[in-house]
Every structure is written in C-alpha cells, then in structure tokens.
Structure 1
Amino acid sequence: MSGAHIHLVLPDATERAACFRALADGRHIVRSFASGADWLDAGAADDCAVLLFHWDQPGAVDGGAMLAAIAQSPDMACFVAASRLSVSESRSILRGGANDLLPAPLDPRLVRSVIGDAWTAWERQRALYADRRAAEARLAALTPRERDILDAIAAGLGNKAIARRLDVSPRTVEVHRANIMRRSGAASVAELLRLRFTVEFARGPSANPVHFGA
C-alpha cells in the first residue's frame, strides 16, 4: 500500500460533506468520491487504509462490485452504509469482506468514532508488520543450524540439552549462540527471543511451537 488514506464513497453530496468534515481533523488524509465508478477509475484502492461506502451506488459499479474490488486489498478496513438490508444481505456483505455495517443516513459522529477506531487498529497493525519485517531482516543471516539452536533456546533448553538434542558438544552450542547474537545484532537473550517471537506470532499461533501458561 503506497499511502494511508481514508476514503468515502457516498453518493449523497450533503452526507459526503458532513462525513468528510467529521474525519478531516488533520491526522488523516481523507478523500471523497461520489460513486464507486469514480473510486475505481481513480485507482484509489492503492492508497486506501479505511473505506466507507454506501451499498446503493449509482451507475454500473454497485456495492457488490465494491466488495469484489476490496477483496484484492486484504489489509483495507471496509465499512458499508445501508438503509435497509435483509439478514441474508447483511450476512453476505460481512462475509464478503466488510468489517461492519453502519445505518444510513449516516451520523457523522458515529462515522468519526467507528472510522477513528478502525484507523487506530490499522496503524497498530502496520506497526506490528513493520516490527515483523525488521525482525525477519535481523534473523535472515542465521544459518539453518543456528536457526535450530534458536528454536531450542526459545523452547527453554539450556546448552547441554541443546547439545544432546542436536548431537553436538556444548562448546559447539556456545559458539553457535555467540554467532547468533552477533548476526542478529541482539544485545541480550531477551532481545533475541523478542525478535524470534515477533516473527513467529505474526505468522499465527499454529506456526509457534512454544505455548505459554500450558
């Protein structure tokens, strides 16, 4: 994603202006569009972090087409405004990728609250992603054997236990540990483990063999 903008795709000019004013507080870049067609024609999905659009769109690009477009941007938070939907329609929209439904006509105060929370969550996720990328870069130089030893350290094993597991001498483990610290740039074992867990937790719990509190 090349930018971090909030986008409003609301056909009603008065509603669009009111929501724009509610969100344009200087913290965010807010862009507004009169239709889904305008939004797609502008290629705006590339710089959109949070999207709010009305389900009933004028022209050829309807709400379903908007959902199909955001499916290509899984990091985007999406909210759909609608005045009258059946339970099955609501379920379909949420399953299609929308984070939530907002009642129309839109209350600018509700929009500011919901979109503000979504923006905060997006920023938090972006920070976690940056941390993971930085941790991956610092661990990228480790050899396969050093990664095995790092996994063993993360599992709570000491040098002797690691040596038995890998069928090497404790002295060899010590040398590998020193190399791991040097290659990763970690100043302590705690920092090294933070790097390792940052990478593993970002991949999901199934990828992390260490379970706390079990």
Structure 2
Amino acid sequence: MTKTIYIVDDDDAVRASLHTLLSVQSDMIIRGFRSGDAFLAEMPDLDPGVLLLDFHMPGSTGLDVLTRLNRDVKFVPIILTGQGNVSLAVQAMKAGALDFVEKPYDARTLMDVIDHAFAQLEQGGEAEARAQAARAKIATLSPREADTLRGLIEGRSNKVIAYELDISPRTVEIYRANLMEKLQVRSLSEALRIAFAAGMLPNL
C-alpha cells in the first residue's frame, strides 16, 4: 500500500532533510508545504496521510492547522517542535496531534513515530469505512422508522413510541419489523451498534 506523508515546515533545510530521510522508503509519497496556509489551501483535495507539522510557522501555526483538522481521521498529525517547546507540543497533542518529535530529531525515533501514525491512519480508515456503511444502512430507513429506532434505543415501549408519534402500537410494530429488516439485524443490540456507528447516539 502506498503511504502519503505531508511535510509542513517553513524551514527549507528541514523539509529537504526530511524528504531525504523518507525517500529511502520506496512505497512513500512525500509532499512538502512551506506554510500551514499552503497546506490548508489544498487540504480538502489531499489523500489521507501522515502530517509532519512544524509548530512555529508564519501565518497559520501548527496549532491553527490542528484546529482546522478537527481530528479528521483522514490525517494523522505529528508535531515537530524546537527544544524547550515540550509544553507547547503537549498542548498540540491535546488538540489532536498523535505525538511530537523534538528538533533536531533522531531519525530512528522519527521513523518509529511515523510507523505508528500510519498504523493509526489505517485503523481510522477502517473505522470510517464502518461508519459509512452504518450511515448508508440508516439512510434506507423512512423518517418514521428512524423515529421508532430512536425510541427503541432510548428504552421506550411500543406504546410510548406510538403515543409520542401519534400512531397505533400496531404501526410501531410494523415500523420496528421494517427497520430490523432494512438494517439486516435480528436483535435490538445489533441495531444499537449500527446506530452508534452511524453517529445517531453521540452522547452514549
């Protein structure tokens, strides 16, 4: 599998050094950006990948870029920070960075962090694929079937759901049977898992 890595650093020498280090891996696509603004301008059109992100840059800083990413599973960011900036790097990790590497970086340490980032990116991609599949199933439900599912998830009986939706309990039973068939499940717990994966239960 081809791996894509993005180097976002305003220091030309750092970008060149990282490019040289990473180029030894034949399965890696490397792209460099001279600023956070340049990366953000192209971000919507970029393939998933690992992001080597300098913390201090003119314009959009590393923290600004992390904020814009908003923990998007499409990218796994690693912060590159100068010595003495560990507290800032921790702040960045709270904003979604996977890890931080101090400059001047140790090549082996950096490669280990990058390998970990690609492993997480692959897991994130699988999670997103499951979420998309779940959302596609939920999308097949009619509005009333979706309302019935929410009622069942919240522990309401058929009679209570019927009262809230102003329909008969028998109609709720029909909606329930239909939604179970459309979701291709045989139990409410299975339906719950699909609803959770689709984002129907953000507070659960």
The whole-number CA distance in structure 1 between the counterparts of 2:172 and 2:95 is 50
Change (3 A) 1:4 1:163: farther
Q: 2:106 aligns to what?
A: 107
TM-score (norm 2): 0.69
- Cα displacement (A) at 1:186: 0.7
CA RMSD of aligned residues (A): 3.6
Q: How many Å apart are 1:102 and its aligned residue?
A: 0.6
Count of aligned residue pairs for this structure pair: 189
* Cα distance change on mapping 1:83 and 1:170 into 2, 3 Å: closer
Change (3 A) 1:53 1:41: closer
Residue 113 and residue 78 in structure 1: after superposition, are their counterparts in 2 closer, same or farther (change >3 A)? same
Identity %: 25
Q: Which runs of 4+ in 1 moved over 6 A?
A: none
Q: Report if aligned partners of 1:8, 1:51 keep a CA contact under 8 Å in 2.
A: yes
Structure 1 segments unaligned to the other structure (5+ residues)? 57-61, 209-214
Query: Offset of 1:42 from its aligned partner?
Result: 11
Displacement after TM superposition at 1:44 (Å): 5.4
Cα separation, 2, equivalents of 1:162 and 1:181: 15
Structure 2: which amino acid aligns with 1:200? G
User: Following the alignment from structure 2 to structure 1, what is the Cα–Cα distance between the partners of residues 90 and 185?
Assistant: 50
* 1:23-102 equivalences in 2 (<5 Å): 24=25, 26=27, 29-33=28-32, 36-37=34-35, 40=38, 45=43, 46-47=46-47, 49-55=49-55, 62=57, 65-67=60-62, 68-74=64-70, 75=72, 76-86=75-85, 89-90=88-89, 93-94=92-93, 98-102=97-101
- SS of residue paired to 2:30: strand
Q: When the two structures are superposed, what TM-score results if normalisation uses the length of structure 1?
A: 0.66
SS state of the match for residue 65, structure 1?
A: coil
**Structure 2, unpaired ranges of 5+:** none
Task: Find the aligned partners of 2:22 and 2:143 in 1 and give their Cα distance.
Answer: 53
Q: Residue type of the partner of 1:146? A: E
Q: Measure the CA separation in 2 of the matches of 1:41 and 1:87.
A: 24
